Amino acid sequence: MHIPDGMLATPVWLALDAAALPAVAWVARRAQREGEEARAPLLGVMGAFVFAAQMVNFPVGAGTSGHLVGSALLAITLGPAAAVVVMTAILAIQALVFQDGGVLALGANVTNMALVGVLAGYLPYYWWGGGRWRRAAIFLGGFFSVLVAAVLAVAELRLSGVRIPGAIWWITLGFFAITAVLEGAITVAVAGGLEALGVGRVREPVAARPRRLLVVAVAAALLAAVGALAASTHPDVLEKLIESLGLAARAGGR
Partner 1 sequence: MHHAVLDRWSRGASLLHARDARMKVLLLLAFLVAVATTPGFAPAHWAIYGGAVLAGVALARLPLPAVLFRAAVVLPFSMAFAGFSLLAGDSSRACALVAKSYLSAAAVLVVAGSTPLPKLLRALERLRVPAFLVLVVQFLYRYLFVISEQAQHMRLAAESRGGWRFRLAAGAVAVLFARSYARAESVHRAMLARGFQGTVAVLAPQRAGWQDWALLAAGLAAVAVLRFGPELL
* Interface positions, 9-68, toward partner 1 (CB under 8 A): 10, 13, 24-25, 28-29, 31-32, 35-38, 40-49, 51-53, 55-60, 68
Cα–Cα distance between 226 and 234 in angstroms, integer?
A: 13
Of positions 16, 69, 81, 88, contacts partner 1 by CB under 8 A: 88
Please say which residue, 52 or 208, places its beta carbon nearer to partner 1: 52
CA pair distance 200, 238, nearest whole angstrom: 47
Output the smallest distance, CB 19 to partner 1, in A. Answer: 16
Residue ranges in 182-221 that form contacts with partner 1 under rule CB under 8 A: 186, 189-190, 192-194, 196-197, 199, 201
Least distance between partner 1 and beta carbon 92 (Å): 6
**CB of 1 closer than 8 Å to CB of 67:** no
Q: How many residues does the chain have?
A: 254
**Other beta carbons within 10 Å of 28:** 18
Interface with partner 1: number of residues (CB under 8 A): 73
Out of 18, 64, 96, 131, the residue judged to bind partner 1 by CB under 8 A:
96
Task: Report, in Å, the least distance between residue 147 CB and partner 1.
Answer: 18
List 102, 121, 205, 227, residue binding partner 1 (CB under 8 A): 102
Q: Between 142 and 171, how does the x/- string for binding to partner 1 read (CB under 8 A)?
A: ---------------x---xxxxx--x---
CB-CB contact of 8 with 157 (8 Å): yes
Choosing from 69, 81, 90, 151, the residue that interacts with partner 1 (CB under 8 A) is 90
In the DSSP assignment, the letter for residue 4 is P
Cα separation, 253 vs 12, whole angstroms: 16
Single out the residue of 95, 148, 152, 230 in contact with partner 1 (rule: CB under 8 A): 95
Q: What is the rounded distance in angstroms from the CA atom of residue 129 to the CA atom of residue 184?
A: 14
C-alpha distances (whole Å) from 155 to each of 54, 112, 151 are: 25, 10, 6
